[in-house]
Amino acid sequence: MKGPFSFPKSERLHGKKAVDLLFGSGRAWLVYPFRVVISETEIPEGAAGSAPKILISVSKKIFKKAHDRNRIKRQIREAYRTQKPAFISQLSGRSSKSLPKQINVGFIYIAKTQEAFSLISAKMKRALNEIASRV
- Condensed to tens digits (0 to 9), the pLDDT of residues 19-78 reads 999 999 999 999 999 999 999 988 766 555 678 999 999 999 999 999 999 999 999 999
CB 43 within 8 A of CB 85: no
Give the chain's domains with CATH numbers.
11-134 (3.30.230.10)
- In sequence order, the 6+-apart residues with CB closer than 8 A to the CB of 4 are 84, 85, 88
Closest listed residue to residue 76, CA positions, set 23, 114, 39, 50: 114
| Mean pLDDT on 79-108 | 83
**How far apart are alpha carbons 51 and 54 in whole angstroms?**
9
What pLDDT was estimated at residue 38?
A: 97
